[in-house]
Amino acid sequence: MKENIISSRKKTIERLKSGVDVAIIGGGITGAGVFNILSSQQLKVALFDANDFAFGTSSRSSKLIHGGLRYLANGQFSVVRDSVRERDFLLNFPNLVRREDFFIPVDSNSWSKTELRLGLWLYSLFSRSIKAKWYSETEIREKFPPLGNTPQRGGFIYAEGVVDDARLVIENILSAESRGAIAQNYSEVIGIDYDGENAKSITVKDLILNEEFQIPVKMIVNSTGPWIGKIFEHMKDKYSEISELIRQIKLSKGDHIIVKRGVLPINTALAIRSPIDKRQVFVIPRGEVIIIGTTEIFYNGEISNPAPSENEINYLIESVKNYVIGISRNDVINAYSGLRPLFGSSDNLGKISREYKVVKTGNIVNILGGKITTYRTVALKVSKMVSDSFGISGLPNIILEYSRNSTEGDKELKEISGGDKDKEKFCKDILYEHAYHIDDILWRREGAFIFSSDSGLSLVEKCLDVMGNVLGYNQQELESERRRYLDLLHK
């Protein structure tokens, strides 16, 4: 690795060794939101992730900012209310979240027209701007000819938000960094030391430099999502309530498949109920592809890189084939899995509440559950708790002020990239956005892994060339990066 990259990281570590007010563990959307808010609170704040930012759940979602219509059936009205209101707020950031119309058909597998009308009326009631509208079978056929031979007997069109989930995380983090906060990916918290009932320091292992160091802390925010059990292991001997929380952790795995856009040539997403088990499945056009998901099953496997199963892929194909006419296994160009931590005693995943919990143990604030749509709600609550502990009054909102189109360093970037626009973006990802690996760039910062029809394969050589020039990786390391990316693809 080039000396300037190493030197910059070492300087950051030296800054951290002097201590921070708040250490946030976990660089998913919730941790990124807390980091963003606290960065403007006159506090010294640092964020750590053992992998890349947004590596887990926050880059493996359905890419939806939605109210959770199906939660109404479980009576989770507060979840739906908060989600709808947050969706409407996030639609004010069209560079990150855009409105997408959804068609929810009435057919033999759906809720009844009356149930849907009531549910969508409640759904719309929570929103100030988005309302649902009924369309007859004839109107749907005229509006969307490819749906002419489907089982629909009319249906409702409503709207949700669609998002590049990983990009939303990255921009929260970089907005905080622009205010002087410190963010370190590939930095694993491997220990917590205590003074009485409070944590006094954390031990961090820098996985890029292979160096361990201690950081004095005044507070910790634990927002590690599916990895929360790993952090709880450092806490269970200190706080008796942690053991009970560990017993309540349940991981839910959701699989998604990606097919080429031409399989369903309409610009409106679908929200249908599977004829197999009546679960809601989304069919979402995005760029050059369509994302279809999601499944939901208990998961007890390796959490670092969960993979879709053939059973779940086939379930999604069978679930949508009455609306995505002619779809087959051969149409799947990629697939991915995401994990969601849930907390509850039920053996039915669908019945476990999606409401988040915040549990404070000593000077550690633990965030349990949550989802991307309501990340701001959770971040505001946690940030208020932290600010109050430091005697700071008032609470600013999340401010997204980082712009990846900044002209900073443009001359240097053009020299490195030779004027190639793709290479220039990859340079920015490395120099300004903490990218160290090929999937950091092509999946979490550029989105090509998900949103392009070839899953980003046409960009691999350019990306490796930039990584060699900017990071200084040798040929053996670049070949390892190539294999790393190819191994992520699921066909």
156 belongs to a structural domain: yes
Domain that holds residue 233: 3-57+167-239+362-389
CATH classification at residue 19: 3.50.50.60
340 plus 275 within the same structural domain: yes
395 belongs to a structural domain: no
144 plus 275 within the same structural domain: yes
Residue 240 has which token pair? 């008796």
417 plus 482 within the same structural domain: yes
356 belongs to a structural domain: no
Total tally of structural domains belonging to the chain: 3
CA 335 to chain centre: 16
222 belongs to a structural domain: yes
256 plus 145 within the same structural domain: yes
267 plus 149 within the same structural domain: yes
255 plus 339 within the same structural domain: yes
Long-range contacts of 134-141 (CB under 8 A, 24+ apart): 135/103, 140/103, 140/105
255 plus 335 within the same structural domain: yes
Ordered per-residue pLDDT tens for the chain, 491 residues: 899 999 999 999 999 999 999 999 999 999 999 999 999 998 999 999 999 999 999 999 999 998 767 666 666 777 788 888 888 889 988 888 999 999 999 999 998 999 889 888 877 778 777 889 999 999 999 999 999 999 999 999 999 999 999 999 999 999 999 999 999 999 999 999 999 999 999 999 999 999 999 999 999 999 999 999 999 999 999 999 999 999 888 899 999 999 999 999 999 999 999 999 999 999 999 989 999 999 999 999 999 889 999 999 999 999 999 999 999 999 999 999 999 888 877 777 766 766 789 999 999 999 998 889 999 999 999 999 999 999 998 877 888 888 776 655 577 787 888 889 999 999 999 999 999 999 999 999 999 999 999 999 999 999 999 999 999 999 999 999 999 999 999 97
443 belongs to a structural domain: yes
Q: What is the pLDDT of residue 368?
A: 92
Q: What does pTM read for this prediction?
A: 0.94
CATH classification at residue 320: 3.30.9.10
426 plus 320 within the same structural domain: no
300 plus 427 within the same structural domain: no
- 99 - beta bridge partners? 161
What Rg value do the Cα atoms of the chain yield, rounded? 23
Q: What is the pLDDT of residue 485?
A: 98
153 plus 254 within the same structural domain: yes
304 plus 382 within the same structural domain: no
381 plus 321 within the same structural domain: no
